[in-house]
């Protein structure tokens, strides 16, 4: 299962937070990251810091940003 770790940049001090939902695949988690940052239900001040799989594999912010930008240009 994949989990998103976020930060709300409008609140201080900066606090990392694990989102309550888990995702069955890396792609599902990346899709949710896009929804949080760019989708119609976005949270304007929320940034996805990284995505982590229960086995320890991580997707870092640079890769998330690249994936989201590529997805945005396809629509």
What would the pLDDT profile of 7-54 be if each residue is shown by its tens digit?
988 877 667 788 889 999 999 999 999 999 988 888 888 899 999 999
- Whole-model pTM: value is 0.85
Rounded to the nearest 10°, the torsion over CA 50, 15, 12, 62 is -10
Instruction: Tell me the backbone φ, ψ of residue 17, rounded to 5 degrees.
Output: -140, 140
Please say whether the beta carbons of 2 and 24 come within 8 A: yes
pLDDT of 73: 74
Of residues 73 and 39, the one with the higher pLDDT is 39
Q: Into how many domains does the chain fold?
A: 1
Residue range of the domain that includes 36? 2-74
């Amino acid at each position: 299962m994949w989990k998103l770790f976020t930060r709300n940049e409008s609140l201080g001090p900066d606090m990392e937070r694990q989102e309550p939902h888990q995702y069955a695949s890396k792609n599902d988690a990346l899709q949710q990251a896009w929804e949080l940052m760019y989708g119609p239900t976005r949270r304007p001040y929320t940034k996805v810091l990284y995505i982590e799989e229960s086995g320890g594999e991580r997707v870092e912010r640079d890769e998330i940003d690249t994936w989201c930008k590529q997805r945005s240009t396809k629509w």
